[in-house]
Structure 1
Amino acid sequence: MTYDARFLRETQYNRLTETTEWDFIVIGGGATGLGVAVDAASRGFKTLLLEKTDFAKGTSSRSTKLVHGGVRYLAQGDIKLVYGALRERWRIFKNAPHVSRTQSFIIPCYSFIEKWKYLIGLKLYDWLAGKYSIGRSVFLSKKDAAQHLGNLKTHKLQGGVRYYDGQFDDARLAVNLAQTAMEHQACVLNHTSVTAVLKNTQGQVDGVAFVDLETDRAYQVRGRAIINATGIFVDDILSMASPKHARLVRPSQGTHVVIDRSFLPEAQDALMIPKTSDGRVLFGVPWHDYLVLGTTDTAVEEKLEEPIPLEEEIDFILSTAASYLDKAPTRADVLSTFSGLRPLAANLGKNQKTKEISRDHKLIVHDSKLITITGGKWTTYRKMAEDTVNKGIETSGLSWTECKTASLPIHGSETSITPQQERLAFYGSDAAKILALEKENPPFAERILPELPHTVAQVVWAIHVEMARTVEDVLARRLRILFLDAKLAVAAAPVVAHILATELEYDIDWEAQQVRAFEALAKGYFTSGAQKQISLSDVSH
């Protein structure tokens, strides 16, 4: 099979050397940065995106996997945020149906007051959605609520309220956004670290210096609108422009645990616990035939590329779930844990909790003309990008062009999947091409592990069409195995490393180094309880 040359790393670096000045240079390859690249490129602007590690390496791959308007923001009275998010939810369904879908949720109610409070609130949620509604909220009897969730505690249960929101695969959408940007002539590079911002004689930012982390080659590029979309690391980029700038964000950690789907055995529905002991909501969401429980909201000081779940966060999630589930998950049942860091406003009062801060986004134009976008959430990534590109046009004096992303199909946006393609449905229109790759090369049809449905062809596809460069890129964000079952991910690492080394023409030392690095990384995805039962070296060889 001949792979699409547009997605090859060599092609992207060739484009880099062919352009002397970019209209937009975007720093950061998470949801926001990728959205900006798609928006700018689809308007016809010369666009370059630089990501230090991999697309959605940080917070953007560590969400609760929900495309939602924000039920709890409605309870906080943030009507404007909810109203806008509900419309953006519909646009994700329309533009990326292969990685998103409608998901029903049930809120169990244990009192008469709860029943009516939640039903009335969710009817308002439905009303705000208007013509973009994806389902009507209804009350369920005690029998129906227990039957639909399958493992719900029924003592004092009065019934439940079912409502509808969205579910998606965050990192898969990120990869598809990178591909969409490249299809619109953007130059998109992962594993490239920005080391400095460049300024003209007037002190305005007009470019960046960066290093290709694979070759250690240094580059300098010039551009008219420089966008800082680095999430919790926005202050690091701002410091390059102004070393004395006031701190803009502080991190808040959200942790999830992944368990077997059997803990909600009958569930087509997800579980929504509307108020936990810390005042947050907790979800139990079916995802890739597993169950994701989360999240937390814990103020932390340190910004890490690989945040580690805190013991108290894991205990909190499991104990909250145990209050609602007859068969309660324990630490031994946890297959993987993961944490993400949200960028929240730094200027908190002494008594203000992170959960009370608005998740709406903020656009800031520095004196040097560096544009910083922060806050927001996955559901509103497209609107955040539109606002950012509009601001970039205004700030840099580029010619005005209308935004096109409201109805722009994302790469892979295909819903007509045949039965043979079902296991590859999240690839959308690429599913048929991966099946063809397996047929052309019978060894590619072999599974990477007997316990997993993923084939060698999927790894090869990730390398040549999805810009995966490391074992982590493949197992964490292309195939999602690390986020679902850390033990199986470690077991698959040597196989994936060998495929990478073969396809990218690396030697056996590189292959071994990749396995060691992934084993070290994966330790953070095991709970301490799980680690007592399993040795990483036992499952990796």
Structure 2
Amino acid sequence: MIEPSPNTAALDTPPARRAAALETLARETWDVVVVGGGIVGAGALLDAASRGMRAALIEQDDIAAGTSSRSSRMIHGGFRYLEQLRFGLVREALAERSRLLTLAPHLVRLESLLFPIYGIPYVSKAYYDAGLTLYDILGARHDGGWHQRVSKSGALDLAPALRQDGLHGGLVYHDAVEDDARYTLAVVRTAMAAGSTAVTRVRATGLLRDSMAGAERILMAEDLTSGGSFEIRTRAIVDATGVWAAEADHPFRSASLRILPSRGAHLVVPHDRIPNKVGLAIRVPGKVVFLVPWIDYWLIGTTDAPFDGPADRPSAAGWEVDQLLDTVNATMDVNLTRPDVVGTYAGLRPLIAPSDGSTVKASREHRVTVEESGVVRVGGGKYTTYRVMARDAIDAVLGRDGSKRRPSDTADRRLIGAADPAVLERIAAELATIPAIGGLVPGTASSLVARYGTEAPAVVALGADLDLLRPLAPDRPFLEAEVSWAARHELAASVDDVLARRTRLAQESRDRGAGIAPRVAAILGADLGWGDARQALEVETYLASADREYSVTAAD
């Protein structure tokens, strides 16, 4: 039984804490305000906090609601960029991959991937072998070791369904897999633990010019939960809005950094539908399609095409679903069809526009500019290199001398929940001895640690206090307690926040979570003060959005 928070604890409820944060935003003068709660904005907030700056972040939706929860969930160097001779980008990304494996080992893990080789005998194998050797030299070997060559039979042992006609063997290498939404959230929460402020459902609406403000800038903002407007005084602003910078009504729109949104779609397919022992990297013209290992599923992606629609909540187009299915079926004898796809999702990459308009050729390197208004804008880049992008943005805020006096320490600052792998394994083993956890789906304890790291015992303790140690969804390693934890500690304010990003059940359930959404709303309602009518509205709103965003779109 869960009960609404008592009045005596009203000052410590999530709504009360948000109200206090809004009051702080409007009352204080900040060194920097970051606009945008994706991975780059989150990184900029933490970077500023690491330098002792008074920093705040505002996000118009949820943390990582946009691109940063819709990636291929890989932390990688991008070996396909070697063909484009972007060695510097690959070296930098591989260095960051190594760093992130240390900063958040509970959220980032190495996985083996097989690159099957088809084409001209000997020539194709030598070509791709040389490419992965260069990938290793540029840094990949430091984490997973040197890549390995396997024969045709060795490739089939790892991926039995590979089409054998023209198969000449394969190459096994390593790249990292992560939970992109939870990683972004961990960065924000680490910054908040260091004294920064982050508030969601607040939209930047423009800059107010005030000659009396001096070096300060006045950022106009709107609280989307109440509709009220207010001013935020700050010495600097970082625009980390990603693809939203391409929107016509963007408050800091400028021609100095033209963003070309590119949509990438992904499919979610049950693990037992494809009999692989490892992930797969499938070479197609201009890019690579990955079969990414995920809990109980394979993630298949991605596509790459210019996108000119609204940035908010994109979905996979029918042709993208067909293209990905065709790519897998051309390489594997699995006859994957639309009914096999549990869910889909799509994200928009904020690429820096090239002269020819191609998104495949558009640079994944980032750029930081300082506008005449004083707004620092950051665009382009890859999820993997977010920390470098954030550091460069705050360097631009401080200037050359200021950044030398106040250097970033994020290269060595572990994220909340992080610990050495041996410690995390011990925590999982201890949790598994708790009868309420050990009696659930096998692997529940390890799954909790993979999401929460050293905070997993606190999640379980909260569940025991609230009688929420039951499964959230049938046959899945999620607890009802995670919903309350999300509201109390992770800024979750809607059913969508919980099912689409704190868990990934929105994409991983054929019914988009319809069967559990009312229960999620009830648990959230106890912490957020929702009555029955509000809970019903939240469920209705969520299901309408989730069906549009994550279902398998009809063929074009």
Query: Normalising by structure 1, what TM-score?
Result: 0.91
1:371 aligns with 2:376: yes
**Residue in 1 that maps onto 2:163:** 153
Q: 2:313 aligns with which of 306, 311, 320?
A: 306
**Residue in 2 that maps onto 1:514:** 538
Query: How do 1:67-466 and structure 2 match up within 5 A?
Result: 67-110=75-118, 111-129=121-139, 132-201=142-211, 206-236=217-247, 239-241=250-252, 245=255, 248-267=258-277, 269-274=278-283, 276=284, 278-346=285-353, 348-349=355-356, 352-394=357-399, 400-414=405-419, 415=421, 416-417=424-425, 418-419=428-429, 420=432, 421-426=445-450, 427-441=452-466, 443-466=467-490
Deviations 1:124-164 (A, max 9, x none): 11011077342211111111111112322223321110111
**Residue in 1 that maps onto 2:48:** 40
Q: Report the Cα distance in structure 2 between the residues aligned to 1:330 and 1:248, rounded to whole angstroms.
A: 38
**Alignment CA distance shift 1:493-1:15 (3 Å):** closer
**Alignment CA distance shift 1:52-1:186 (3 Å):** same
Q: Which piece of structure 1 moves more, 66-75 or 28-37?
A: 66-75
**Alignment CA distance shift 1:379-1:335 (3 Å):** same
Cα deviation, residue 15, structure 1: 4.6
Q: Report the Cα distance in structure 1 between the residues aligned to 2:544 and 2:214, rounded to whole angstroms.
A: 43
Cα deviation, residue 484, structure 1: 2.3
Contact 1:12–1:187 under 8 Å retained in 2: no
Q: Which piece of structure 1 moves more, 51-60 or 121-130?
A: 121-130
CA RMSD of aligned residues (A): 2.5
Q: 1:500 aligns with which of 524, 534, 549?
A: 524
Report the secondary structure of 1:406's partner residue: coil
The one-letter code matched in structure 1 to 2:90 is V
Contact 1:251–1:302 under 8 Å retained in 2: no
Report the secondary structure of 1:240's partner residue: coil
The one-letter code matched in structure 2 to 1:233 is W
**Alignment CA distance shift 1:519-1:11 (3 Å):** closer
Report the secondary structure of 1:282's partner residue: strand
**Residue in 1 that maps onto 2:442:** none
Q: Which piece of structure 1 moves more, 220-229 or 151-160?
A: 151-160
The sequence identity of aligned pairs, in percent, is 34
Contact 1:205–1:226 under 8 Å retained in 2: no
**Alignment CA distance shift 1:245-1:360 (3 Å):** closer
Report the secondary structure of 2:411's partner residue: helix
Unaligned 5+ segments in structure 2 are 433-444
Report the secondary structure of 2:468's partner residue: helix
Contact 2:352–2:366 under 8 Å retained in 1: no
Cα deviation, residue 487, structure 1: 1.8
Unaligned 5+ segments in structure 1 are 531-541
**Alignment CA distance shift 1:395-1:491 (3 Å):** farther
Cα deviation, residue 398, structure 1: 8.2
Contact 1:48–1:187 under 8 Å retained in 2: yes
Cα deviation, residue 405, structure 1: 0.2
Q: Report the Cα distance in structure 2 between the residues aligned to 1:68 and 1:399, rounded to whole angstroms.
A: 29
Contact 2:44–2:394 under 8 Å retained in 1: yes
**Alignment CA distance shift 1:473-1:413 (3 Å):** same
Q: Report the Cα distance in structure 2 between the residues aligned to 1:356 and 1:344, rounded to whole angstroms.
A: 10
Report the secondary structure of 2:478's partner residue: coil
Deviations 1:382-432 (A, max 9, x none): 011111111011189789301100010101113323232313022101111
Contact 2:204–2:251 under 8 Å retained in 1: no
Contact 1:151–1:263 under 8 Å retained in 2: no
**Alignment CA distance shift 1:96-1:237 (3 Å):** farther
**Alignment CA distance shift 1:208-1:395 (3 Å):** farther
The one-letter code matched in structure 2 to 1:453 is P
Contact 1:257–1:292 under 8 Å retained in 2: yes
The one-letter code matched in structure 2 to 1:432 is P
Deviations 1:183-230 (A, max 9, x none): 010000111111222333299871312122223332211111100000
Contact 1:295–1:317 under 8 Å retained in 2: yes
Q: Which piece of structure 1 moves more, 142-151 or 167-176?
A: 142-151
Contact 1:205–1:368 under 8 Å retained in 2: no
Contact 1:207–1:226 under 8 Å retained in 2: no
Cα deviation, residue 13, structure 1: 4.3
Contact 1:194–1:208 under 8 Å retained in 2: yes
Contact 1:7–1:465 under 8 Å retained in 2: no
**Alignment CA distance shift 1:305-1:486 (3 Å):** farther
**Alignment CA distance shift 1:164-1:116 (3 Å):** same
Q: Report the Cα distance in structure 1 between the residues aligned to 2:54 and 2:141, rounded to whole angstroms.
A: 36
Query: Normalising by structure 2, what TM-score?
Result: 0.89
**Alignment CA distance shift 1:488-1:306 (3 Å):** closer
Contact 1:331–1:529 under 8 Å retained in 2: no
Contact 1:7–1:467 under 8 Å retained in 2: no
Contact 1:30–1:56 under 8 Å retained in 2: yes
Report the secondary structure of 1:81's partner residue: helix
Deviations 1:27-51 (A, max 9, x none): 0000100000001012110001000
Q: Report the Cα distance in structure 2 between the residues aligned to 1:67 and 1:321, rounded to whole angstroms.
A: 22
Report the secondary structure of 2:37's partner residue: coil
Q: Report the Cα distance in structure 1 between the residues aligned to 2:339 and 2:379, rounded to whole angstroms.
A: 37
Q: Which piece of structure 1 moves more, 102-111 or 40-49?
A: 102-111
Contact 2:22–2:199 under 8 Å retained in 1: no
**Residue in 1 that maps onto 2:29:** 21
**Alignment CA distance shift 1:7-1:115 (3 Å):** farther
Q: Which piece of structure 1 moves more, 389-398 or 379-388?
A: 389-398
Contact 1:462–1:474 under 8 Å retained in 2: yes
